[in-house]
Amino acid sequence: MATREELQALSALRLREAEALFAAQLYDGCVYLCGYVVELALKARICAILDISEYPDRRQHFKTHDFDELKLLAGLEREITAANPQLLTNWSVATEWKPEWRYQPAGSYGRPDAERILGAIKVAQDGVLACISRRW
């Protein structure tokens, strides 16, 4: 099980890796790693909200990649709504991701896809990572 701090560091690392893949024009890998940026950040937030040191990934309800479930567990249901349209839009873009994307054929995602997802995660004010990291 990963600690909250390890999850935070892994989220930041996956973002740097996604940016490096983007710079190398490896857009499929960039898009794929972006999903893990969000997932790891949400799991760090869950540790914070539950006041636990390690993410309980061996427990059934916590063993998930589902962003809607993780958003609920992270206590972000009220924040990511139509009341904050830019954050909701960014959330919708960033959470299109599914772990099954690893089976997509090469060339499934291009530069525009990767830019859109990276942007939704990285926007300073209403980006998904900014929203989560303010509370982890």
Grade residue 4 by pLDDT with cuts at 50, 70 and 90.
very high
How large is the angle between the packed helices 27-50 and 111-122, nearest 10 degrees? 20
Grade residue 99 by pLDDT with cuts at 50, 70 and 90.
confident
Grade residue 38 by pLDDT with cuts at 50, 70 and 90.
very high
Per-residue pLDDT tens over the stretch 52-72: 999 987 776 787 888 999 999
Q: 114, exposed or middle or buried, with CB in 10 Å at 0-12, 13-18, 19+?
A: buried
DSSP 70-86: HHHHTT-TTTSSTTSHH
Domains of the chain plus CATH, in order, are 4-133 (1.20.120.330)
- Amino acid letter, 16: R
Q: Rounded to two decimals, what is the model's pTM?
A: 0.92
Grade residue 24 by pLDDT with cuts at 50, 70 and 90.
very high
* CA distance readout (Å), 12 to 5, 39, 75: 11, 11, 21
| Distance (Å, whole) CA 127 – CA 8 | 16
